[in-house]
């Protein structure tokens, strides 16, 4: 039986109830899911994704003092009064070990929260590509890949990662793809061999360069830097490390 693989090129394209019973993968390459992987690898105990800035501040105020970090951005820039922005390099072991990260970003946290109706929700980036692929290979549920996009627009970098995941799944098993999955797969076939250059070419990459954040692009292009998979847990809603380790690398470009 073919396994359904659906790509949503923006969170707004996810219909109510559509991801129920599935394993969902949330993607925001530049930069939220990349930063989330870095933060958990650096020792954050969990990440609380929040859509609104004021809700993030309220949640942080109600968590144990001295054990919480506020992180995130709007328009690519750190938020006033927050401890950290959305640059992966900020999330060091010195800052993160033993801390709860309350995080809100322009697009990435929205993608995660749009996928919350799925039975499992993973956070993916190029930096944990193979680890995510192996979790998908071990599961049997339909796959829904939710790209963060940018303010409702499709983004090249998220589509590229979605296509890389589709490529892996097509090699592993019989799948039934929606048209957005085929478009993402074509994107990977055309741009996957030039990963960092493609990220730099994208609108998000150009915006980061304009802000002097070129280093974030380089970090986002480090395929398989980490072997961890952030997974969304409930009550309270939080991202934790759901699995660790890979058998082999699955990047074929």
Element (H, E) at 85: none
- Tell me the residue ranges of DSSP E strands in the chain: 3-8, 23-27, 46-49, 68-74, 77-78, 100-104, 120-124, 143-147, 175-177, 228-233, 238-244
The CA distance from 82 to 94, in Å, is: 17
Question: Average pLDDT over the chain, rounded to whole?
Answer: 97
The 10s digit of each residue's pLDDT in 194-252 is 999 999 999 999 999 999 999 999 999 999 999 999 999 999 999 999 999 999 999 98
Which phi-psi region, left, alpha or beta, contains residue 75 (left: φ > 0; alpha: ψ -120 to 50)? left
Give residue 43's pLDDT band: very low, low, confident or very high (50, 70, 90): very high
pLDDT at 218 (0 to 100): 98
Q: Using alpha carbons, select from 26, 31, 29 the residue that is nearest to residue 91.
A: 31
Give residue 253's pLDDT band: very low, low, confident or very high (50, 70, 90): confident
pLDDT at 37 (0 to 100): 98
CATH homologous superfamily of 3-31+106-244: ComB-like (3.90.1560.10)
The CA distance from 236 to 226, in Å, is: 25
Whole-structure pTM value:
0.97
Residue 45 reports pLDDT greater than 90: yes
Q: What is the DSSP letter of 153?
A: B
Contacts of residue 139, defined as CB under 8 A and 6 or more positions apart, other chains included, come to 23, 120
The 10s digit of each residue's pLDDT in 17-35 is 999 999 999 999 999 999 9
The 10s digit of each residue's pLDDT in 72-121 is 999 999 999 999 999 999 999 999 999 999 999 999 999 999 999 999 99
Question: Where in the chain are the domains?
Answer: 3-31+106-244
**Residue 95: cis peptide before it, omega within 30 degrees of 0:** no
Residue 7 reports pLDDT greater than 90: yes
The 10s digit of each residue's pLDDT in 120-173 is 999 999 999 999 999 999 999 999 999 999 999 999 999 999 999 999 999 999
pLDDT at 79 (0 to 100): 97
pLDDT at 49 (0 to 100): 98
Q: What secondary structure does DSSP assign to 177-239, as a single string? A: E-HHHHHHHHHHHHHGGGHHHHHHHSHHHHHHHHTT-HHHHHHHT-TTS--EEEEEETTTTEE
pLDDT at 233 (0 to 100): 97
Give residue 1's pLDDT band: very low, low, confident or very high (50, 70, 90): confident
């Amino acid at each position: 039986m073919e396994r359904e693989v659906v790509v949503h090129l923006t969170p707004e394209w996810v219909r109510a109830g559509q991801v129920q019973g599935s394993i969902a993968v949330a993607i925001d390459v530049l930069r939220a899911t990349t930063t989330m992987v870095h933060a958990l690898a650096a020792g954050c105990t969990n990440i609380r994704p929040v859509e609104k800035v004021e809700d993030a501040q309220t949640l942080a105020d109600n968590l144990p003092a001295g054990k919480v970090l506020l992180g995130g951005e709007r328009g690519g820039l750190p938020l006033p009064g927050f401890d950290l922005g959305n640059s992966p390099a900020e999330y060091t072991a010195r800052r993160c070990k033993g801390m709860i990260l309350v995080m809100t970003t322009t697009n990435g946290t929205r993608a995660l929260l749009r996928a919350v109706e799925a039975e499992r929700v993973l956070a993916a980036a190029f930096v944990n590509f193979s680890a995510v692929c192996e979790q998908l290979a071990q599961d049997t549920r339909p796959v829904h890949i939710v790209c963060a996009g940018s303010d409702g627009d499709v983004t090249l970098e998220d589509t590229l990662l979605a296509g890389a995941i589709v490529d892996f799944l097509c090699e592993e098993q019989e799948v039934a793809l929606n048209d957005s999955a085929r478009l993402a797969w074509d994107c990977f076939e055309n741009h996957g061999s030039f990963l960092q250059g493609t990220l730099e070419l994208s609108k998000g990459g150009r915006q980061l360069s304009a802000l002097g954040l070129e280093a974030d692009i380089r970090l986002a292009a480090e395929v398989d830097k980490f072997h961890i998979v952030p997974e969304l847990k409930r009550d309270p809603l939080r991202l934790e490390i759901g699995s660790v380790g890979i058998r082999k690398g699955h990047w074929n470009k």
